[in-house]
Structure 1
Amino acid sequence: MTIRLTVRASALVLCTTLATSFALPAQAAGIDGVLPKAETAPLFDDEAGGNANADDPAIWRDAADPDRSLVIATAKQGGLRVYDLDARQVQSIPAPAGPDADDKPGRFNNVDLVQGLRPGGTRADVAVVSDRGNDRLRIYRIDRNKPGGPLTDITDPAARPVFSADQAEINEQKTAYGLATWTDRTTGRSYALVSRRNRTRIALLELIATPAGTVDYRQVRTLDLPSSFRLPDGTSWTPCAEPDELPQVEGMVVDPTDGTLYAGQEDVGIWRIDAGLTGTPTLIDKVREYGVPGTYDEETEECTPGADPGFGGKHLTADVEGLTLVTEPDGDGYLLSSSQGDDTFVAYDRERDEDNEYENAFRVTAASTRLDGSEVCDGAAALNAPLGRRYPNGLLVVQDGQETPGDGDREATGFKFVDLGEVLDAID
């Protein structure tokens, strides 16, 4: 079943170059900065670097020994990387190849965790990954004591493409992109919510543990977010982008308490949606560029912005990227979003009763000449739980899209580890 909102379809997305034309608020330059405590080794998106490009992290807590907790992170065509709390790599898993040499290779985009699945009848924590290259989910069992590395692929061989009808359609790469997991506390069933690249669609997939010890999935329903928007002056606006591209969603997170999905439509803003993909989505905040017309230039492959009509938000600069939650037992806490266009992170009240009001913003800034901050951040993950002696106040991991120092002319990416206690101090 597909739920469609009554909006006009369009084939345009806001180019990130549009954001550069906006002057940031005066307070943006003076917001608090927090310092990273560790960073991963740089990844390089070239042949010598295994075409690895840091994207999205997840934090797995070892309940028996929190000091041995792990960060599991995607590296796109470079597959998966697993790090300890000192940001040292403990495992690298390549993305699978395509069926044939001419087909698109595997490309791991986003990752999230599920606790308590029972593949083969045995309880397991798993990492769920969106394989954009093959349009599938990949599922990895987590066992900290396993020789050779903590992750084992238990994806069911029968797992089918998430969105595509065949390999030809997969090769067009309108495929599985953003991802968030959710376990329904009422039924105990676990799900993955998956967005589609260059489209506005989100799919709800139920994760199915099999007696053979694998994990499969089935589609429950889909929802299409708007691609065109009615502005207060009565005009219609569609974000600018390349032909045949719609404003996609990537960053997503589900509040486990009430099953609320927060989805970042990159050039539009943040949506609040029932995780079952029922009901009407609510746009809780807009990017500053919301409503600004743009003209796509095929020669430069960039958008030229027009006059700003003044309908945008005040806190987010496109793209909206990594979303994560800081949860507290009493229901308080924060929704954090990467505001990629101005290298900040924006905090909103977690409580729906407060309408997810804006709280504050912060930056992850350089701690030294060797330990830089986070720029143009794609993915983020927070865990508000003690993680041993290194992070007794919890941990925030953020992607760094401009890792420095790099290696000559090679562009580098990586991940920064930040004490969550310092983040909460900055927000408060």
Structure 2
Amino acid sequence: MTFKHVLTQSALGLTLLSSALIAVQAQTAEVVQPSPAGGSEVAKWQSHWLYASEQQGLLLTDNAGLKTVVPGQFEYLAVHNNIALTYDTQVDQVQGIKLDLNNMQRLVLLPKRSFQVEWLCLQPRLADGNLYAWIGDEAGRAEQWLLTSDEQWKPQLVRSMSVAMGALKCRVDSNEQLYVIDNGQGLWRYAAAPHSPDESALVVSLPDNSLTGLAMVADQPVMLDESGQMFDAQGQRLNSPFTQNLALESLYIADNQAQAYSDEDGYFYLGQFEQAQLYGSHPAGTPSKDVIKEVPTAVESSIADRAGDTMDDPAIWIHPTAPEKSRILGTNKRWGLLSFNMQGQQVQALAVGRVNNVDIRQGVNLGGKLRDIAVASNRDRDSLSLFELNNEGELIQLAEQATPLTDIYGLCLYQPQADELYAFVNNKAGEISQMALRWQDGQLTATEVRRLTVPSQPEGCVADDKQQRLFLGEENSGIWLFDLASDTPSNRLQINAEMIIQAGGPLVADIEGIALYQTASADYLVVSSQGNDSYLLYQSQAPYEYVGRFRIGVNAAKGFDGSAETDGLDVTTQAVGSGRWAQGMMVVQDGRNRMPDQNQNFKWVPWSEISQALELK
């Protein structure tokens, strides 16, 4: 690695940094050229510049000049707070370094990858306080890694993803967007949150370019090509301090200074970059969007037996004497109904068909006996799959019952009286059938007693048994409230209904799972939004005020990812254990199971941690 100081030639001032840090004299140029040492990338740490060298390791500038602080053979460099990330070419593994002027410390290497790492960058997250990294190669392979949680270094693979062929450099902004440059098409953007879908967008097309460097200035990407030209995210040329044909291949900008490395002559070039004031008023690293709080996954279930969209809707069964022995039912909409213990282990599976949604009512007086009943909407035969649960939560299959609908979808149960039970089942056309469930001749039967409608496709619903209300989500529109007490089922008339919460603002369509959390002091409607992978709380009484929202996030200590693309959810106010589980829980379907990428499953969290995150009273 070599460095130069040269004369400032213009208002932008091109300077080259020398290993001896010799001062630049006006109208003169002094060059210091020790033997090349294989430079690579540079980053700012505190008041120091750090350099990755393939021969001299990690180097640092201080008042005494330039010195090696970690011997080795390093390529690529990214820094955040006291963590540096580089690539050790001796062992072909990603190396973390804990930065401390008195004791630089190599951290545990990331496992060797199946590809040669050719670029990397860091991603600090405000939502969970964790530090992540992206690594990849020019063949379009990329991986996201969790590096630190609670300041503890514990690398874990989050997900693998395809990016642009020819990818060269990456950076992540504070709004969790990953930027990648290639020299075939230009600048790409990818959703970088751990729960995000694998979505991409070509931000600016620069076909057949010679891009080699990427930096962030005031949270905006700045690109560099090998000739020294610089471009913004719209492809507009910027004033560049690099005015010579230097075969530049990396870029870093901090404190209005830009550094780039020339592979042609082995020098790092330092110049003034005066473009930062053009990029808005928010400081770099400050998100322009609201940060949604995250509650870490406490338990995750066993995974689905097959890939693809499989798991859908959960329901909670409470053990009558031992809350810690409660069960979670979950639909596998490809073939049947599953049951999990509170540790997430699958304990029962019934191959009843393509069941979509499931709900439970306990202690229903049917046929002269208190029974725990589960009902699932079965899309194979547009029917209701019926089950009874014994005192240990074991499922006993009952006779299937037909419905009058076609293409059935969502379902929820309603118990207005101790000896009354109904199922609301809906279809994609917006029809909702209220089915009376009665014990007759030794079996549970289902008969339609009322038909309701909404304008378009619904799915999630929940009934308020005490106040005789039905909440129903119309996926792209909002949440409807039906007053079940405003009419009697026998005359089959449309009952009073109103749209109480419209999609928009914090509630991003599409709307999926809906549940109620009701105690003497709390009365919340809980809603899942697939639109931005969040869960929202509203007051369940008029005027249905918005309370707050959260996501279920990474639990690094247990190696659990968060949840995303949620279909169904359920909550309970009853204890499902002691301590943090005493206030009940929430369970959700996870449509993107990661850390690492796996088949879908269910995630659950204690309600006490939701309450704490949202500062509920």
TM-score by length of 2: 0.50
The residue identity in structure 2 corresponding to 1:414 is N
The residue identity in structure 1 corresponding to 2:516 is L
- Hey, what does 1:243 align to over in structure 2? none
Secondary structure at the residue paired with 2:559? coil
CA displacement at 1:388 relative to structure 2: 1.9
User: Percent identity of the aligned residues?
Assistant: 31
Q: Please list every run of 5 or more consecutive structure 1 residues that lacks an aligned counterpart in the other structure.
A: 1-16, 96-105, 164-173, 227-246, 288-312
| Counterparts of 2:596 and 2:356, CA distance in 1 | 22
CA displacement at 1:335 relative to structure 2: 0.3
The residue identity in structure 2 corresponding to 1:193 is F
Select 2:363's aligned residue among 116, 120, 130: 116
Deviations 1:280-326 (A, max 9, x none): 32112222xxxxxxxxxxxxxxxxxxxxxxxxx21211210000111
Is 1:387 aligned with 2:387? Answer: no
Select 1:151's aligned residue among 392, 395, 412: 395
The residue identity in structure 2 corresponding to 1:218 is T
1:208–1:27 distance in 2 versus 1, CA, 3 Å: farther
Is 1:202 aligned with 2:432? Answer: yes
1:27–1:416 distance in 2 versus 1, CA, 3 Å: farther
The residue identity in structure 1 corresponding to 2:410 is G
Deviations 1:316-353 (A, max 9, x none): 112100001111135x321010011101111100223x
1:360–1:254 distance in 2 versus 1, CA, 3 Å: same
| Counterparts of 2:519 and 2:364, CA distance in 1 | 24
Is 1:181 aligned with 2:423? Answer: no
Q: Please list every run of 5 or more consecutive structure 2 residues that lacks an aligned counterpart in the other structure.
A: 1-196, 202-286
1:139–1:20 distance in 2 versus 1, CA, 3 Å: farther
| Counterparts of 1:140 and 1:338, CA distance in 2 | 26
CA displacement at 1:52 relative to structure 2: 7.5
CA displacement at 1:63 relative to structure 2: 2.0
1:35–1:278 distance in 2 versus 1, CA, 3 Å: same
The residue identity in structure 1 corresponding to 2:527 is S
Would the aligned equivalents of 1:406 and 1:412 in 2 still touch at CA under 8 Å?
Answer: no
Select 2:479's aligned residue among 264, 270, 273: 270
| Counterparts of 2:313 and 2:541, CA distance in 1 | 25
| Counterparts of 2:200 and 2:587, CA distance in 1 | 26
Select 1:161's aligned residue among 387, 390, 403: 403
Select 2:603's aligned residue among 405, 416, 419: 416
Secondary structure at the residue paired with 2:535? strand
Greater alpha carbon shift after TM alignment, 368-377 vs 84-93:
368-377
CA displacement at 1:118 relative to structure 2: 4.5
- Hey, what does 2:505 align to over in structure 1? 314
CA displacement at 1:188 relative to structure 2: 3.7
- Hey, what does 2:500 align to over in structure 1? 284
| Counterparts of 2:523 and 2:372, CA distance in 1 | 24
Tell me: higher relative CO, structure 1 or 2? Use CA pairs within 8 A at least 6 residues apart.
1
- Hey, what does 1:30 align to over in structure 2? 291
CA displacement at 1:181 relative to structure 2: 0.5
Is 1:133 aligned with 2:386? Answer: no
The residue identity in structure 2 corresponding to 1:179 is L
Select 2:447's aligned residue among 203, 218, 226: 218
Would the aligned equivalents of 2:416 and 2:468 in 1 still touch at CA under 8 Å?
Answer: yes
Is 1:260 aligned with 2:469? Answer: yes
Structure whose residues are more often helix by fraction: 1
| Counterparts of 1:125 and 1:67, CA distance in 2 | 18
Task: Return structure 1 stretches of 4+ with deviation > 6 angstroms.
Answer: none
CA displacement at 1:278 relative to structure 2: 4.4
CA displacement at 1:109 relative to structure 2: 0.4
Structure showing greater radius of gyration is: 2
- Hey, what does 1:169 align to over in structure 2? none
Select 2:559's aligned residue among 356, 370, 374: 370
1:404–1:218 distance in 2 versus 1, CA, 3 Å: same
Would the aligned equivalents of 1:252 and 1:322 in 2 still touch at CA under 8 Å?
Answer: yes
Secondary structure at the residue paired with 1:55? strand
CA displacement at 1:223 relative to structure 2: 1.2
Secondary structure at the residue paired with 1:42? coil
Secondary structure at the residue paired with 2:531? helix
| Counterparts of 2:369 and 2:479, CA distance in 1 | 37
Structure whose residues are more often strand by fraction: 2
1:423–1:27 distance in 2 versus 1, CA, 3 Å: farther
- Hey, what does 2:300 align to over in structure 1? 39
Secondary structure at the residue paired with 2:505? coil
TM-score by length of 1: 0.71
Secondary structure at the residue paired with 2:324? helix
The residue identity in structure 1 corresponding to 2:358 is V
Aligned length: 324
